[in-house]
Amino acid sequence: MSKLTCMIIEDEPLAVKVLVDYISQVPFLELQGTFKDAILATDYLRHHTVDLMFLDIHLPKLKGMAFLKTLAHPPAVIITTAYHQYAVEGFDLNVTDYLLKPFEFERFLVAVNKVKKAGWEVPKPHESPDLKDYLFLTVQKKKVKILFSEILYVESQREYIKLVTTKATYLPKMSTHEIEALLPPALFKRIHRSFIVAVRKIDSYTAEYVEVNGVSIPIGRGYRDILENL
């Protein structure tokens, strides 16, 4: 199985050492790099992509939450911090988990497994994700088959998503980043921090919103060029 590539954005050397050690113990994680501030991380992300980011909040130059808001298409994010008061804001930004320092390896493993499970998988080199026309999601402890052709849109619901199809609405426990990684990019586009839409289901759109099956969905300020480029 392919590995989850990850990066660490952390300015405390001891915290970096702990994370590097924990990552090395998890077979499905592959560390791509460590960065002591968000500016260096931003420069790296201009030319590289990762599946998962371990992000501290109190960083020099640019704070972690402010940095996260600058990313149009962020990877899965696990917050690592000593400050619990940012948890709500973190979940509003669709972070996968929130680790309070100091945290043990077992708690770290729970967090990264949230990224790995909920249907996450990387296609083998000879496979194309666009060849598959469905996915399986865990909904109320049951694996449910969802056809791509039936999905209308996805909406963030904090630690859940609302996945609306032509047949039913599902509430799997996962983030929009996780579901976005499973959807064919040619068929689905993120148009807002909290919304992903099926391109073929768009009935009309303006600069402010799209209409899908009679539902108006807002277009985020940083996503407006996506529709124009379709």
13 and 41 share a domain?
Answer: yes
12 and 80 share a domain?
Answer: yes
Residue 179 pLDDT = 86
49: Cβ contacts below 8 Å, ≥ 6 apart: 5, 75
56 and 27 share a domain?
Answer: yes
Range of the domain at 133: 129-228
95 and 18 share a domain?
Answer: yes
pLDDT tens figures, 90-102: 455 678 888 888 8
Does residue 50 belong to any structural domain of this protein? yes
Domain limit, last residue, from 87, 116, 145: 116
Does residue 121 belong to any structural domain of this protein? no
Burial of 39 (0-12, 13-18, 19+ CB in 10 A): middle
Calculate the alpha carbon distances from 98 to 20, 40, 53, 112, 149 in Å.
17, 22, 12, 11, 34
CATH of the domain at 108: 3.40.50.2300
133 and 222 share a domain?
Answer: yes
3-state secondary structure of 172: coil
Does residue 122 belong to any structural domain of this protein? no
pLDDT tens figures, 45-56: 888 889 999 999
Spell out the per-residue pLDDT of the chain, length 230, in tens: 478 899 999 999 999 999 999 999 998 899 999 999 998 998 888 888 899 999 998 888 888 888 888 887 888 999 998 876 654 454 556 788 888 888 999 999 999 988 886 444 444 333 444 456 888 888 888 889 999 999 999 999 988 999 999 999 999 988 888 888 788 888 899 899 899 999 999 999 998 999 999 999 999 888 877 776 66
Domain limit, last residue, from 94, 116, 138: 116
CATH of the domain at 192: 2.40.50.1020
Does residue 83 belong to any structural domain of this protein? yes
- Global pTM value: 0.52
170 and 99 share a domain?
Answer: no
90 and 144 share a domain?
Answer: no
pLDDT tens figures, 133-143: 888 888 888 88
Burial of 74 (0-12, 13-18, 19+ CB in 10 A): buried
In percent, the amount of the chain with pLDDT more than 70 equals 87
Domain limit, last residue, from 92, 116, 140: 116
Give the chain's mean pLDDT.
Answer: 84
Structurally, the chain folds into a number of domains equal to 2
96 and 182 share a domain?
Answer: no
111 and 10 share a domain?
Answer: yes
10 and 103 share a domain?
Answer: yes
148 and 224 share a domain?
Answer: yes
